[in-house]
Structure 1
């Protein structure tokens, strides 16, 4: 086996057309000009079977190498016989499913045929030696990898409600061109695969696609601000920044606040569309996912969002009935505004006016009562589903009386545990703000309540971790928000350390960006300023 001089290292498209390939990564210039998806230039050494007995055997040998080369194209998706399951089980199962049917090719992969002069064992050694020169992520077709990414994410808790838009992405991309969304989907698919399989090559290619996604997004935003796009803000224009934000969440080595900027850009685009356009279909599913993510951003930055207005809390649900979770999100969206007012009053100290203190205290009390009412209705709903009667303490609705009983409550589903953690987070934020602006309140009772709900959050996180429902999806990103609240507000030092330990573990072993506050300088384009 020897390297054949003059053998093209270009992509499959250029080799098929017999033209010179620039061999650029991730896409060559010829494919970019033609608007085609580039399968990528050949990496590393290329080995073929060498025989000098007759031309017939040489042609057979060349046919084998071409069969292997063609299997890297988008038509077949995987090179056999290397076992992808050894890289990561979830990305090894590439059979057709209802989800990725649009992504998978209809024709069957070519059968492997051994050259007549090679024994099966020597042929297998030859194939493995050939494949060892290629990055393992090249073995997976990009479209199939995107399908596996979507399938992994839609198996996580709350997916039917919060990720209903993900399975529709292949259909959108098959109907119209959306470069930003295409690049972002490839980037997050490679990033997740690289993280799960510990493949640095896949992660590096993910970075290249992410950079292309940033450049494409910047062009789209310029066209939108200039009114050059006749279609206006489309669904895919909002999906692109959301996926770019997900990429940042799965890469803790990047900027700590870039994911916030992407989400702010997506929310700005949604605001430009208006609430009426988010009342049904794909846009409504996207709206539900985005407004939950924006709670993390606005709470951390203490900046109220347009999503907290009565208009945006009612019009998008004119055709869809709100679930219990939607009602909880309604309450959580107004907390950032109350926190910003409370912080301003607390910063003034004794110089603040009694009227300002009363207004802040009244707003916090309204939110607390809303959370208590939601909790009572939610627990009654769960008990009715289980055929149980509501106990008297649930009907009382007293926050301090029922705290210890709530902490000991169990959950039958990971998403129930997440709902519980978000509710506990809201109570902690309100209690902490009440301590800051109302010294006359029983601060001891409020601190005990913070500790009790902090314990509830840690129990929920531990329960979800033991269920291993996020193992194929990178990690429980939504739970970093409650954990950060426990770490920063709990008066119990052990709770703060436990919450920090959870986040440090996810950051080290899963690559999750658990820092919600941007502390590093970012080279990312501030897309929020561009559109605003």
Structure 2
């Protein structure tokens, strides 16, 4: 039998959705604007033979059954490992580059990628956390055995962490060989006939994606993997991602796909309403995922603005007017998101702390979710303002139609970029593992480009940002791939 979690309110339990157990109201009830009934103080033991479901999703189990099986499978994986030989501790597995068991390899991934607070938390919780949602499904996916593509991708990801993140002095030969083998295995699995991609295949591609990043080879290769992941996910309807493991993979992959769209200035399927809304039909989006839903339309706005350069003056002005309207609306929704997010708690979500460098206070956050959400909010808002400025360069007579006074646009962009730079130290703490460095890519790119664009007005800030980047790159060389000036 298994133990039912007592930090799940009755509303979330009846709806069969994840509950974060917060008091006096859980986040799900808060976002739905309903009264949270609270939590029972009694433990309830549920017999395993009650695991039955009336219907199935396109990927097999219903969301309710998938959630129940997740707990059972994790427990089964742990008992299997205890039954054969003593379980390898995470610290031991992490220092074994030749680890062969999938359990040890997954331990390496969780220990190296998932932030410390997530690792310390009970992995039996059904509510996915913002930082490790997709990585935490790996034990569930392999609990009853793993196919060749899944196993090889896990090995490639684990060894890439060892040689690229924590032990850069290790010989990369084994990691490169594992990556090459996984690439062939996953390619064969993708080409094999199938009606819809299994969760194992999506997770395998995500493992390859991060293995490519941490080795690394080239930014183009990483981008190709990410584009392929998007195409693979689109082979299913958005209804396939409403719950269970598919939903957790979706929320894990979505931020990277949105960042890719912003960087390439090309819209993706994630901007369509069905993809922004349907996957969250049963599970209320977290604040950060709600922010990503707004950001998903940024690439399409950027593409429209780029297209105006090839238009006649009359057509360009009409198109730019539409772009400006979209940017104004998005800026309003972003500000509304920030207002709602900052009001979730009576306590401050972030604050300033003095540093040794005069005039360069650092920003500290109440938790990683606040840091991840606010730094990306500042980046998204700065991107919108940057493109408002570009519209005004093309058509200065539109200044009266913007929501921000023109002389203050650059100043606000500069201030947002400064706040991003002040936040880096928090995100680069050792306990943030590899999630921290990967989460700063878009915010730092945005700040860096704005300081470059500012010329003499932001010369000091640009030099400061460059110094921050040099410090960041010393520990995580792969980040230099995203900054052309620093690529080897």
- Aligned counterpart for 2:445 among listed residues 478, 484, 492: 484
Answer yes or no: is 1:371 the counterpart of 2:371: no
Distance 1:288 1:157, change over 3 A: farther
Q: Distance in 1 between matches of 2:104 and 2:363?
A: 42
- Aligned counterpart for 1:265 among listed residues 228, 241, 244: 228
- 2:267 maps to what in 1? 304
Answer yes or no: is 1:356 the counterpart of 2:316: no
Following superposition, the deviation at residue 269 of structure 1 comes to 1.4
Distance 1:415 1:495, change over 3 A: farther
Contact 1:233–1:273 (CA under 8 A) maintained in structure 2: yes
Answer yes or no: is 1:429 the counterpart of 2:411: no
Answer yes or no: is 1:200 the counterpart of 2:170: yes
Contact 1:251–1:512 (CA under 8 A) maintained in structure 2: yes
Following superposition, the deviation at residue 308 of structure 1 comes to 1.0
Distance 1:463 1:137, change over 3 A: closer
Following superposition, the deviation at residue 377 of structure 1 comes to 1.1
- 1:416 maps to what in 2? 370
- 2:201 maps to what in 1? 237
- 1:317 maps to what in 2? 280
Contact 1:276–1:315 (CA under 8 A) maintained in structure 2: yes
Contact 2:417–2:450 (CA under 8 A) maintained in structure 1: no
Task: Give the number of aligned pairs.
Answer: 372
Q: Distance in 2 between matches of 1:175 and 1:108?
A: 18
Name the SS for the 1:381 alignment partner: coil
Distance 1:517 1:334, change over 3 A: farther
Answer yes or no: is 1:289 the counterpart of 2:252: yes
Contact 1:157–1:414 (CA under 8 A) maintained in structure 2: no
Following superposition, the deviation at residue 166 of structure 1 comes to 2.1
Following superposition, the deviation at residue 157 of structure 1 comes to 7.0
Larger radius of gyration: 1
Distance 1:207 1:270, change over 3 A: same
Q: Distance in 2 between matches of 1:503 and 1:431?
A: 23
CA deviations 1:172-230 (Å, max 9, x no partner) are 224244222211111111121223123433x221111110111112212222xxxx23x
- 1:146 maps to what in 2? 106
Distance 1:446 1:283, change over 3 A: same
Contact 1:474–1:512 (CA under 8 A) maintained in structure 2: no
Contact 1:475–1:510 (CA under 8 A) maintained in structure 2: no
Following superposition, the deviation at residue 136 of structure 1 comes to 6.3
Q: Which runs of 4+ in 1 moved over 6 A?
A: 97-100
* Unaligned stretches of 5+ residues in structure 2: 1-73, 88-94, 119-127, 350-360, 400-404
Following superposition, the deviation at residue 233 of structure 1 comes to 0.8
Q: Distance in 2 between matches of 1:103 and 1:475?
A: 32
Q: Distance in 2 between matches of 1:446 and 1:216?
A: 50
Give the CA RMSD over aligned residues.
3.2
Following superposition, the deviation at residue 307 of structure 1 comes to 0.8
CA deviations 1:143-169 (Å, max 9, x no partner) are 414313224433357871342232331
* Unaligned stretches of 5+ residues in structure 1: 1-96, 111-134, 389-406, 520-532
- 1:250 maps to what in 2? 214
- 1:55 maps to what in 2? none
- Aligned counterpart for 2:431 among listed residues 456, 469, 484: 469
Following superposition, the deviation at residue 474 of structure 1 comes to 7.1
Q: Distance in 2 between matches of 1:264 and 1:176?
A: 28
Paired residues for 1:92-131 under 5 Å: 101=78, 104-108=81-85
- Aligned counterpart for 1:163 among listed residues 132, 136, 140: 132
Contact 1:150–1:167 (CA under 8 A) maintained in structure 2: yes
Q: Distance in 1 between matches of 2:101 and 2:256?
A: 30
Distance 1:108 1:278, change over 3 A: closer
Contact 1:245–1:263 (CA under 8 A) maintained in structure 2: yes
Following superposition, the deviation at residue 98 of structure 1 comes to 7.3
Q: Distance in 1 between matches of 2:131 and 2:271?
A: 18
Q: Which deviates more from structure 2 when the two are superposed, residues 188-197 or residues 150-159?
A: 150-159
Distance 1:409 1:373, change over 3 A: farther
Distance 1:136 1:219, change over 3 A: closer
Following superposition, the deviation at residue 103 of structure 1 comes to 7.5
Q: Distance in 2 between matches of 1:294 and 1:517?
A: 18
- 2:188 maps to what in 1? 219
Contact 1:249–1:477 (CA under 8 A) maintained in structure 2: no
Following superposition, the deviation at residue 463 of structure 1 comes to 2.7
Distance 1:450 1:315, change over 3 A: same
Contact 2:262–2:299 (CA under 8 A) maintained in structure 1: yes
Following superposition, the deviation at residue 510 of structure 1 comes to 2.2
Contact 1:190–1:206 (CA under 8 A) maintained in structure 2: yes
Name the SS for the 2:297 alignment partner: helix
Q: Distance in 2 between matches of 1:178 and 1:438?
A: 55
Distance 1:494 1:518, change over 3 A: closer
Following superposition, the deviation at residue 451 of structure 1 comes to 0.4
Name the SS for the 1:371 alignment partner: helix
Q: Distance in 1 between matches of 2:135 and 2:79?
A: 13
Q: Distance in 2 between matches of 1:176 and 1:142?
A: 9
